[in-house]
Amino acid sequence: MSTHPTGKRTGRPRSASADLAILEATRAALVELGWGKLTMSDVAGRAGVAKTTLYRRWANKHDLAVDAVAVLFDELQLPDLGSLRADVEGVVLQFAALLERPEAKTALMAVVAEATNDAALRLRIRSSIVDRQKRLVVEGRRRAQRRGEIPPDPPGTDPAPQIDLIFDVIAGAVVHRTLVSGEPVDATWVAGFTALLLTGLASA
């Protein structure tokens, strides 16, 4: 979210449409130029807005980028495909498709890089992007437990660490495959990954 003044009343109110135009312009510029060539002036120009207006709402390029791409991640869904295997494959393919989009991958990696020594940015990424997608793991896990595909939570146990673990493994594998190894996430790879995730190395 952009930085909104909190308790103010007076003065001309900020243009609501400007926020949307700026975020859209940011994504468009990321697609065309990539992170390194992205400039605030260019974004302002595309959005039909003055540079001042950007800086009034976001402190810098990285904060703006987080907001610009966060909405993309909210598009991920988990339709019930009938089995844990199918559900996992479905979400992995969706996530891989998202990471193919230049604005998503380029912005995500750039802000993560900057966040390695910027605690505030780290928090912003977590709250705006990462934590919101854990809903997918929570839901998929609940379904699989109902179907009896995985054991129910033992009473008195906090499921959060397990949820975080599964999330890091799935998201991490896809991100690493796509952005570090630089190989495509195709049906074959997804099938292999899902099999490994469900039954483990020992039976691979």
Partner DNA sequence: TTCTAACCGAGACGGTACGTCCGGTCTTCAA
Partner DNA sequence: TTGAAGACCGGACGTACCGTCTCGGTTAGAA
- Closest C-alpha to 102, from 63, 72, 136: 72
Binding part of the chain for a copy of itself, among 19-27, 73-81, 89-97, 171-179 by CB under 8 A, reads 171-179
- Close Cβ partners of 99 (under 8 Å, ≥ 6 residues apart): 105, 108, 174, 175, 178, 179, 185
Binding part of the chain for a copy of itself, among 1-9, 39-47, 73-81, 173-181 by CB under 8 A, reads 173-181
Q: Report the partner that residue 9 touches, choosing among DNA, a copy of itself, none (CB closer than 5 to 8 A by kind).
A: DNA
Under rule CB under 8 A, residue 72 binds a copy of itself: no
Residue 132, classified by CB atoms within 10 Å of its CB into exposed (0-12), middle (13-18) or buried (19+), is middle
Under rule CB under 7 A, residue 182 binds DNA: no
Q: Which of 1, 20, 32, 37 binds DNA (CB under 7 A)?
A: 37
Q: State the first-to-last Cα distance of the chain, in angstroms, to the nearest integer.
A: 44
Alpha-helical runs (H) found in 148-201: 160-175, 187-199
Which residue shows structure tokens 């190989």?
A: 183
Which 94-153 residues touch a copy of itself, going by CB under 8 A? 102, 105-106, 109-110, 112-118, 122, 125-126, 130, 144, 149-151
- Close Cβ partners of 173 (under 8 Å, ≥ 6 residues apart): 193
Under rule CB under 7 A, residue 14 binds DNA: yes
Q: Report the partner that residue 112 touches, choosing among DNA, a copy of itself, none (CB closer than 5 to 8 A by kind).
A: a copy of itself
Give whichever of 27 and 141 is closer to DNA, judged by the CB atom.
27
Other Cβ atoms less than 10 A from the Cβ of 194: the count is: 19
Other Cβ atoms less than 10 A from the Cβ of 129: the count is: 21
Binding part of the chain for DNA, among 45-53, 132-140, 166-174, 191-199 by CB under 7 A, reads 45-53
Under rule CB under 8 A, residue 166 binds a copy of itself: yes
Binding part of the chain for DNA, among 41-49, 103-111, 120-128, 192-200 by CB under 7 A, reads 41-49
* Residues lying near DNA in the complex (CB under 7 A): 5, 8-15, 18, 37-41, 48-53, 55-57, 59-61
